[in-house]
Structure 1
Amino acid sequence: MDSAGRRAAYLVGGRRLESGSPEFAEAIAAAHAAHQRPRCLCLVGGIEMYVARLAGADGGYIVKRMPDTGSHHAPDCSSYEPPPEVSGLGQVLGSAISEDPTTGETTLRLDFAMSKITGRSTVPVTGGESDSVASSGAKLSLRSLLHYLWDQAELTRWHPGFTGKRTWATVRKHLLQAAENKIARGDSLRLRLYIPEAFTVEQRDAINARRVAQWSQAIAVSGKPQQLMLLIAEVKEIVPARYGFKAVVKHMPDQAFALDEQTYRRLGRRFGPELGLWGATEDIHMVMIATFSVATSGIPTIVEMSLMPVTRQWLPIENGFEKQLVERLVADARTFVKGLRYNLDAGSALASATLTDCEGSPTSLVVAPAGVADNGRCLQVGDPSIPVWFWHPSSEAMPVLPPRQDRRARVVEAAGKP
């Protein structure tokens, strides 16, 4: 569906069909078999799409936008995404992220390990230590991978109709779907990704059994490299334990993740501002992405990790100023896409959000990084023809936001079209 809740319409095999209609699933399956490309009808003439087959037991097919065409769609189309240059996505597309429409698979190049030699000590790296840094977009850091999956799961999108509907169960479902058909280090990312299920006492035993079954692939085997799992979860607390330290995540009351002291100390140094924001604000969730190993005793130990604060709507934020902006947009019932940094360093300008409900083209909202001069040209991101709204928090209150498109005028305009 598009941002207004309407079903997307496609031209499939010469027929106009809406997603979710009774004939749609059969039509796109036939298009996949015939190597046909549907067209999204959000604009006159349509925009070429492709059909990908979903992995897993359920199978099925999905219509996806062609690589690098998200910004070509209408702003209120479900396939629209801001130009990659306005966020950190532009730096990693084509190098760290390679999508193949012929197979429907996306290959991801990672700059962190997904296996380790059993018994060999390693220097723990808190997954953001190299996050920023890499001015190179050749590989994805842990933070970049989390940002990519959040984008692919469309958890960076917001529309007033989403209010009250984005729960942890919803977040988990969309993240797992986003991981489908993603290949990392020659293996299925989905099979290595563990996201805790929404916990209920009644389902405790069944949930634990599924967790143990999935984790079995990461238990050390003598003479072979130990496979690591990938965790995405909401942090409850990271605290000293009876021995060492532990990370406790929500929806897993029976099992904590062990941390060694060096990782714990580096966590505080690298993510001090994010942890400070989380500690001072009751309505912030803290999302963790981590690689972890599983001992023969069944105890999981974190190897590398990164953190991402999100609002109560699960929209990522970097600091208190972005929190103010996102809260204003939500309160004003605006429709927007939240921008993410990926590998970009903290001083690089990016669109904190892109408004998609403005008159004309979408508008980039830029919050000036600390220390940047009051000069819009220093903060220009993406295509210069795209309207940009600037806020310099160090020297001014938040400016008035660009006005929303008049919906009544839009209805009249649409009614007049043939």
Structure 2
Amino acid sequence: MVDWSHENARAQAGPELVLLGGRVLSRQVAESDPGRWQTVLQDVYLSRETPRCLCRGRESPIPMYVERRGRTYSLKRTPGSGESHHQACPSHGGMDVSGVNGGSTSAIHKRSDGLLDIKLDVPLRTVQVGRGATAASAPTAATPTGAGSSRQQVKLLGLLHLLWERAGLHRWTPPAPEQRPRTLGDVYEKLRNELDDIVLGKSRASSIVYVPDTRLDDPAQRHKEALIAESYMHLQAKCPAGERPVLMVIAECRSFFDGKYSRGLRLKGFPDSMPIWIPASAMTQIEKGWNGRLERFMSAMGGSAGEGTRLFVIAGLQFSEKGALNWLYGSLMETTGRFIPVESGFEAQVANALVEEGRAFVKPLRYTGQEEVHPDFVLTDTKRPWYLEVFGMATPQYLERKRAKITHYRESGKLLWSWDAAAGTQLPPFPVG
């Protein structure tokens, strides 16, 4: 019998309400009382009951399931059910990306069971090059097994973009007065949901990619230490002799710091005892390739003009013999404070201005190919879509591309709003109607 008298169930509906073991709970219990949440999930897991999401109301429950990894239990949506959930529900997602961003390619293949099979351009395991050698320091360690395949590949950042888009995190709609703002915990949960529907190298992405929650109390940190180690050992057990697995992680950067031999990176939601150690050569590449993003991130850490900048990382890690997490490869993605991906400070200004004015928009993302025109933003609250372009450079090659873009919009009859930020002009008013 369902206990509808529970304090969190009086409305008998809501985007965060779930039915667990005959009781209705808000998913916010996962953060406000994690011990109780784990106990409830454990009871449901052991009883083999089917939890149900009530985001569509008590008359339209959506089946879910509880997953166990080590000593941690998680509430999961059933594969392929993401679009059935209410848009404000944490389980909403799984948006179809076929036919978008250059069309379907062999890099992203939708299987008959509805899962997406993705071919990455980075290795999921490496060749062991000798006792004591780490993949990060060995020149041949990053050679992917099974090289030579003619199948197209998705870049590491492309995978993060795809997850972001399937989760609907690239869209912004002004929240209703009763709706709480999107949190990092929401983002992490949505990303974990999407990993359940993706296959990497014949394995579920959720077994290869670790996304933490935001809890940092002592019990949670100890559980995460054990879970990360168990995940890596599980991957190692599946590796052929002489090879080492790669554990991928996705998280928001907390801080960079100097270690004795290399640079350290702390991630939000990761145990303090498990920083990511980045070798000097990799740190040089990061600073060279993502210099502007790092500057804005460091500025945000100091609470100056860059406040609100977030920096997410997707990285491949390997354990050292002493149990340290070493960086093998990775990529960074900058977002606004509300988790909208941006590629420059100018784009961040536009995204923040759109949010402040209560506009609805989409940030198109790249994950395969290079389409003819890729707008920076698209307004979705007008009668016809308006394509927003931010022109932030003035090099000859960039200006030539700028002219080609403007010509494309004009000849295709699309509505274009643009800001010549490189010329120092003020942000123009956004289109309405």
Q: What amino acid sits opposite 2:353 in the alignment?
A: R
Q: 1:339 aligns with which of 364, 385, 391?
A: 364
Q: 1:381 to 1:297 in 2, by over 3 A?
A: farther
Give the conservation status (yes or no) of the 8 Å contact 1:96–1:137. Answer: yes
For residues 188 and 410 of structure 2, the distance between their equivalents in structure 1, rounded to whole angstroms, comes to: 31
TM-score relative to the length of structure 1: 0.70
- How far apart, CA to CA, are the structure 2 residues paired with 1:382 and 1:56? 51
Partner of 2:320: 295
Amino acid at match of 1:122: P
User: Pairwise CA RMSD of aligned residues?
Assistant: 3.6
Deviation at 1:310, TM superposition (A): 0.9
Q: Partner of 1:193 in structure 2?
A: 209
Among 247, 270, 279, the alignment partner of 1:229 is: 247
For residue 291 of structure 2, the aligned residue among 241, 265, 272 is 272
Cα offset for 1:350? 1.9
Paired letter, 1:143: L
Is the contact made by 1:124 and 1:304 (CA closer than 8 Å) also made in structure 2? no
- 1:283, distance to aligned residue in structure 2 (A): 1.7
Is contact 2:211-2:249 (8 Å) kept? yes
Separation in 2 of the partners of 1:118 and 1:170? 38
Q: How many Å separate the matches in 2 of 1:383 and 1:215?
A: 53
2:119 to 109, 127, 134: 109
Q: Which amino acid aligns with 2:173?
A: H
Q: Percent identity?
A: 20
Note the residue ranges of structure 2 that are not aligned, 5 or more in a row: 1-13, 16-53, 69-75, 84-91, 131-137, 143-149, 300-305
Normalising by structure 2, what TM-score?
Answer: 0.68
Q: Secondary structure at the match of 1:322?
A: helix
Match for residue 167 of structure 1 among 183, 191, 210: 183
Instruction: Assess, with a 3 A threshold, how the Cα gap between structure 1 residues 329 and 82 changes in structure 2: closer, same or farther.
Output: farther
Bigger relative contact order, structure 1 or 2 (CA pairs below 8 A, ≥6 apart): 1
The Cα shift of 1:376 comes to: 6.8
Distance in 2 of aligned mates of 1:55 and 1:380: 49
Task: Give the 3-state SS of the residue equivalent to 2:421 in structure 1.
Answer: coil
Distance 1:143 1:24 in 2: 37
User: Could you say what secondary structure the match of 2:399 adopts?
Assistant: coil
Q: 1:150 to 1:59 in 2, by over 3 A?
A: closer
Task: Report the Cα offset of residue 330 of structure 1.
Answer: 0.3
1:91 partner SS: coil
Aligned 1:299-378 pairs, distance under 5 A = 299-342=324-367, 349-359=373-383, 361-368=384-391, 370=393, 371-372=398-399, 375=403, 377-378=405-406
8 Å Cα contact 1:152/1:178 also seen in 2:
yes
Q: Is the 8 A contact 1:277 1:319 kept in 2?
A: no
Corresponding residue of 2:196: 180
CA pair 64-164 structure 1, distance change in 2 beyond 3 A: closer
Distance 1:222 1:353, change over 3 A: closer
Deviation at 1:210, TM superposition (A): 2.6
- Give the Cα–Cα distance (whole angstroms) in 1 for the partners of residues 409 and 82 of structure 2: 26
The correspondence for 1:140, drawn from 148, 154, 160, is 154
Q: Specify the SS of the correspondent of 1:394.
A: helix
Q: How many residues align?
A: 337
SS of residue in 2 equivalent to 1:90: coil
Where structure 1 has 5 or more consecutive residues not aligned to the other structure, the ranges are 1-5, 8-17, 30-52, 66-77, 126-135, 405-418
Letter of the 1:176 counterpart? R
Call closer, same or farther: CA 1:332–1:187 in 2, change over 3 Å: same
Q: Which residue of 2 aligns with 1:410?
A: none
- The structure 1 residue matched to 2:171, chosen from 127, 141, 157, is 157
